[in-house]
Structure 1
C-alpha cells in the first residue's frame, strides 16, 4: 500500500515540477511527455523489484483508453472544418492509402528483422506501430508557420487512424488467441462493422447530448460549477456506449467531436472544450509516467539490436515512404509532403494496443514488446524535439 502512495506522490510531484517550469523546459526542447517519461524511468530505476511489476496494468487500462477518447474528441472539436473542406483529400490519402501501406510495409520489415516470429505477432507489432497520436501532434497542429491544410490533415489523420486500426488489431489479437490465419474478407468485415457501429452511435448520441446541454443552458437549469466538464462526460459516455455495442469507441469519439464543431460550436461555449482539452492533456502526462514505469520492467534486462533497428525504421521509412508515395500525384510541395511523412508520432494509441496485448496474451515474445516500447519512447523524443525545432523556426 505504501508503495502505491509513493508512486502517486512521485507522479503528482512530477506534474507540479513540469507545470512550474514549463517555459524553461520548452526552451530546452523538453516536452511534457518527454519529462514525464524521464521521471517515470528514473523512479522505476530506484523502485524496481526483480521479477515483479510494481504496478498492475489492469486498473490503468480503462483510464488510458478514456484519456485517448477524450483527446480525440477535443482535437476533433477544435478542427477547422472550413479549411478541411478544401483539402479533405489530403486526410483521405493519409487514411485510405498511407495507413494500410504503412501497416503492410511494417509487416514486411518485421518479417525481415524477426524471421523467428509468426506472421501474426509480426502483424501485431506493425499495427501497434502504425497509428499516430493526436496529443503528440498538438505542437505541430498549433504551429501557424505550417500551412493550415497540412496541419488539419495531420489532425484528422491522428484522430481517425486510431479507429481504423482498432478493428485490425482486435482481429489479429483474436487470431493469435485462436491460432488461426486471418483472411482479407474477415478483416474487412470486422472493420466495416466496428466503424459502422461507431458512426451510427455518434450520429445519434452526439446531437441528443448537446441539444440537452444547450436546452439546459438556455433555460438556466444548471450552475457554473456543474458545467465545467460537460464535454468530458459526453466524450466518455459516447466512447463507452460504442464499446459496449462492439464498435470502435475511438472512432466514435472523434466523429462526435467533428459533429460538435459542425452543429454546436457557436451555440455551446468553446470554453467547455478548452476545459476538456486541458484535462485530457493532464491525464496524458500521467499516462506517460505510467508507461515509462512498466516499460522499464521490460527493457531493463536489455534489448536486441533488431528491436532497436525496427523502432528506428518504424519512425522513418515505415511511414515516410508510404506517405510520400501516396502524395506523388498531388500538387502539394515536397516540403509539405515531407512534413506529413515525418510528423506521425506514435503515442497513446500504441500504448493502449501494447497494454491490451500484454494483458490478453501470456506468451507474447519479448522482442515484440521491446520493439513496440522502443518505437513509442523514441517517437516521443524525436518528434518532440523536431516539433520544438519547427516552432523555434517559425
Structure 2
C-alpha cells in the first residue's frame, strides 16, 4: 500500500472511533462498517486503495490475526471452571460441531454436484467455527441468561482451535486424495501437523506460563512486559511448530490452553490487549477482507452460492444445535437463540485463505467464493439482528423466568472476545 492509502485508512479508523460508542446500541456493528468501507474503497468499489492478495499484506495480517485469535481465545477459557459447568458448551462442541460439519457436507454435495466429498467436507469445516464478536450484544447483554451467553462465548472461543486439525486433514485429502497415498503417509502427516503442534504448544505454553508466574511473583517483571511476554509465548509456539513442520496454528491454540492452566492469575493483561489492540487488528482484517477478498468475489455470486450460504447460516446450524441440546430441558426460544447466533467471521475468513494457497485443489476459487459470501451474509444478518433479538430474548426470559428453569442456572462468567 502507498502512503495515500494508509492515510485514507487511518482517517477512516479515526472517524469510526469517534462514533463507536454511539453505534453500540444500533444494528450497525463494527465488522459491518469495516467490511462495507473495504468494499467501497477496494477493487469491487471505487478502487481507491490498492490491496491485492499478491502483495502479501492480507496473508500476513490474516496469519497474525489468526495466531492472536487462537491464543487469546484459548487463554481466556478457564478449563478448571469450565469442567464444573460443562454441559451446554460440551454439547455444542462435542455434538453440535460435528453435526454442523456433517450436515454442511451433505448440503454442499447436493448444491454443488461438481465437487467431491473431501472438498464438500472442507467447505463445511471452514464454515463451522463461530465468531461471537460479530454480534457482541448477543454475549454482552446482561439481561440475557448468563448460562446461554456463556455457552455461546465458550463455543466461539474453542471451536476454531478444535476445527484446525480437521481442516488441515480435509485440505490434504481434497488436494491429494486418500487413495493416492499410503497409510504411512497419512500417519506421518497427522503426526507432524497435529502431533508436533500439540507437543510444541503444550510445552511452550506451560513452560512460558510457569516462567512468567515465577518471575512476576518475585516482582522482577514490569506490568507491560508481562503482557508482551505472554503474547511472545503464543507467537513463539507458532514459529517453533512451523520450524519443525508442525501446524503453528494448532500450537498457538494449545499454547493458550497450557498457559492458562499454568498462570491463570496473569492472563488479565492478555484479555485487555485482545479487547483493545486485538479488536483493532480484527476490524482491520474485516476491512482488508472487504477490499481485497469480498470485492473480487461480488461477480461470482450464483444461486447455488447464495442458497448454500443461507442454508449454512440457518438450517445447518440451527438443526445441529437443536439436536445437540435435546434433553437439556431448555425452552424453544433459548434453543433458537443458541442456534441462530452462530455467526461466521474471522476464523472462516482466515481458514478460507488456506484454500487459495492450495494449488492442487481444482475448485479452490469456487470454494473460496462460497466462504466469502457466507461470511458477508453473516456479517449483515447476524449484525442487524444481534441487538434486536438479544433484547427480544431477554424480554421473553424476564417474563417467563422461573427458578427451576435451566436457563436460570448461574455459572461463572468468563471474558468475551
Place the TM-score, normalised by the shorter chain, in its bin: 0.7 to 0.9
Counterpart selection for 1:331 from 329, 332, 341:
329
Counterpart residue number, 1:238: 237
Contact 2:210–2:262 (CA<8 Å) still a contact in 1? no
TM-score, normalisation: structure 1: 0.85
The one of 93, 96, 109 aligned to 2:94: 96
Match of 1:346 in 2: 344
Aligned residues: 388
Select which of 158, 161, 169 maps to 2:159: 161
Alpha carbons 1:76, 1:156 under 8 Å: kept:
no
**Partners in 2 of 1:131 and 1:152 — Cα distance?**
16
Q: 1:390 to 1:86 in 2, by over 3 A?
A: farther
Q: 2:205 & 2:317 partners in 1: Cα distance?
A: 33
In the other structure, the counterpart of 2:114 is: 116
Q: Which residue of 2 aligns with 1:314?
A: 312
Q: Hey, what's the Cα distance between the residues in 1 that align with 2:89 and 2:192?
A: 22
Deviations 1:269-292 (A, max 9, x none): 723431244221111011001111
Deviates more, 1:273-282 or 1:344-353: 273-282
Q: For residue 415 of structure 2, what is the aligned residue in structure 1?
A: none
Q: Are 1:46 and 2:17 matched, yes or no?
A: no
C-alpha separation between the residues in 1 aligned to 2:165 and 2:201?
17
Shifted more, 190-199 versus 139-148: the winner is 190-199
Is this contact kept in 2: 1:11–1:289, CA < 8 A?
A: no
Per-residue Cα deviation, 1:92-118 (whole angstroms, up to 9, x for no partner): 222222112111111111111111233
Moved more, 322-331 or 144-153: 144-153
SS at match of 2:24: helix
Conservation of the 8 A alpha-carbon contact between 1:140 and 1:151: yes
TM-score, L = length of structure 2:
0.81
2:29–2:134: 8 Å Cα contact kept in structure 1? no
Partner residue in 2 for 1:68: 66
Structure 2 partner of 1:229: 228
- Distance in 1 of aligned mates of 2:95 and 2:190: 16
CA distance in structure 2 between the aligned counterparts of 1:275 and 1:314, rounded to whole angstroms: 32
* Structure 1 alignment gaps of length 5 or more: none
Inter-CA distance 315–187: structure 2 relative to 1 (3 Å threshold): farther
1:377 match: 376
Contiguous gaps of at least 5 residues in structure 2? 395-417
* Equivalence for 1:206: 205
Structure 1 residue 248: deviation in Å? Answer: 4.8
1:354, 1:372 within 8 Å by CA — same for their partners in 2? yes
Q: Return closer, same or farther for 1:139/1:64 CA change in 2, 3 Å cut-off.
A: farther
| In 2, Cα distance between equivalents of 1:12 and 1:258 | 34
The 1-side partners of 2:8 and 2:66 are apart by 23
Q: Distance in 1 between matches of 2:364 and 2:208?
A: 44
The Cα shift of 1:160 comes to 2.5
The answer as to whether partners of 2:343 and 2:379 remain within 8 angstroms in 1 is yes
Tell me, yes or no, if the aligned pair for 2:130 and 2:344 is still in contact at 8 Å.
Answer: yes
Alpha-carbon distance between aligned partners in 2 of 1:138 and 1:182, rounded to the nearest angstrom: 45
Distance 2:177 2:76 in 1: 43
User: Equivalent residue for 1:290?
Assistant: 288
Answer whether contact 1:171 1:182 (CA < 8 A) is retained.
no
Farther-moved stretch of structure 1 (168-177 vs 14-23)? 168-177
Task: Pick one of 171, 175, 178 that aligns with 2:173.
Answer: 175
Q: Alignment partner for residue 15 of structure 2, among 14, 17, 25?
A: 17
TM-superposed CA distance for 1:231, in Å, is 2.7
Give me the whole-angstrom Cα distance separating, in 1, the residues matched to 2:39 and 2:221.
Answer: 44
Query: Over aligned residue pairs, what C-alpha RMSD do you find?
Result: 3.1
Q: Distance in 2 between matches of 1:190 and 1:131?
A: 23
Distance 2:319 2:105 in 1: 14
Cα distance change on mapping 1:381 and 1:226 into 2, 3 Å: same
1:363-394 deviation per Cα after TM superposition (whole angstroms, max 9, x unaligned): 43644222211101111111222222245555
- CA deviations on 1:338-360 (whole Å, 9 max, x unpaired) are 22211111112211122121122
